[in-house]
């Protein structure tokens, strides 16, 4: 409970105490049947007041106070109509209490109807630790791809400068040729023109 609500509860307590004491005074002045009715009304208002104090921290207590002040105002009007005197000071206090405890509108529905705000912030990237096997596998795949590209980019066939046979780059014999001795051909015709013949790996 905040400081403002505590202060409000204190004001309610003072007003209700004065009103209940005033009601006791009305009961003592009244005679016969009206006195019994006023006594019954006093106990009802006292019970509602206690319930209001219990539930004040849960926000529904103030609504109970609102009904206490409504019933009290109604009671004062009935006393004035049937018995005679109008208690202006009690009436004024009951009106003040009524206004203080008047239920406020909840803005929950209007807030929910408003369009949701779109966040302009960029989403945060999350970093996941991959297992060592997956990282190693990715590395081998990328290296194999890069080596395959380097092997196939110069031409479709490869031969050694020290021999007259050309191979497919994936051939085991082609892999044994040292890089500085390799000769590349774009097609079979280019190899034939240079005097090279096809290996069994070439279809």
CA count, 13 A, side-chain hemisphere, 133:
0
Cα 143–147–153 angle (5° rounding)?
Answer: 145
Q: Choose among 62, 99, 93, 61: nearest CA to 76.
A: 93
Tokens coding 119: 């966040």
Q: Examine the domain organization and report whether 158 and 75 are in the same domain.
A: no
Q: Do 84 and 171 share a domain, yes or no? A: no
Token couple for 20: 């209940």
How many residues would you count in the chain? 203
Residue 117 lies in a domain: no
- Mark which of 36, 71, 104 sits at the end of a domain: 104
- Residue that terminates a domain, selected from 104, 123, 158: 104
pLDDT tens-place values along the chain, 203 residues long: 567 778 888 887 888 888 888 888 888 888 888 888 888 888 988 898 888 888 877 777 778 888 888 888 888 888 888 877 778 888 898 888 888 887 766 544 444 445 455 555 544 444 455 566 655 666 666 655 555 444 445 788 999 988 889 999 889 988 889 989 999 998 989 888 889 999 988 87
Tokens 């009715």, located at residue: 37
Residue 59 domain-assigned?
yes
How many structural domains does the chain have? Answer: 2
Question: Is 72 domain-assigned?
Answer: yes
Read off the tokens for 160. Answer: 């050694």
- Give yes or no: residues 177 and 100 share one domain: no
Q: Looking at the domain assignment, is residue 157 inside a domain?
A: yes
Is residue 112 assigned to a domain?
A: no
Alpha carbons 34 and 22: distance in angstroms, whole number: 15
If asked whether residues 158 and 99 sit together in one domain, one would say no
202 located within any domain: yes
Residue 143: per-residue pLDDT: 56
Residue 136 lies in a domain: no
Q: Is 38 part of any domain?
A: yes
Q: Which CATH number goes with the domain that contains 182?
A: 3.40.10
Q: Which residue range is the domain that position 87 belongs to?
A: 3-104
Q: Is the pTM of this model over 0.95?
A: no
């Amino acid at each position: 409970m905040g400081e403002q609500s505590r202060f409000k509860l204190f004001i309610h307590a003072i007003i209700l105490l004065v009103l209940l004491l005033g009601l006791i005074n009305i009961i003592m002045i009244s005679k016969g049947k009206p006195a019994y009715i006023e006594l019954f009304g006093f106990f009802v208002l006292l019970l509602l007041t206690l319930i209001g104090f219990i539930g004040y921290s849960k926000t529904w207590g103030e609504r109970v106070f609102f009904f206490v002040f409504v019933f009290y105002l109604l009671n004062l009007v009935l006393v004035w109509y049937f018995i005679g005197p109008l208690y202006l000071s009690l009436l004024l206090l009951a009106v003040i209490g009524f206004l203080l405890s008047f239920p406020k509108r909840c803005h929950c529905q209007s807030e929910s109807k408003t369009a949701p705000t779109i966040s302009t912030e960029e989403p945060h990237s999350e970093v996941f630790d991959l297992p060592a096997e997956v990282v190693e596998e990715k590395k081998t795949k990328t290296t194999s791809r890069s080596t395959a590209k380097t092997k196939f980019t110069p031409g479709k066939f490869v031969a050694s400068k020290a021999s007259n046979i050309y191979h497919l780059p994936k051939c085991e014999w082609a892999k044994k040729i040292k890089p500085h001795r390799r000769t590349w051909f774009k097609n079979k015709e280019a190899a034939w023109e240079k005097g090279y013949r096809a290996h069994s790996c070439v279809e």
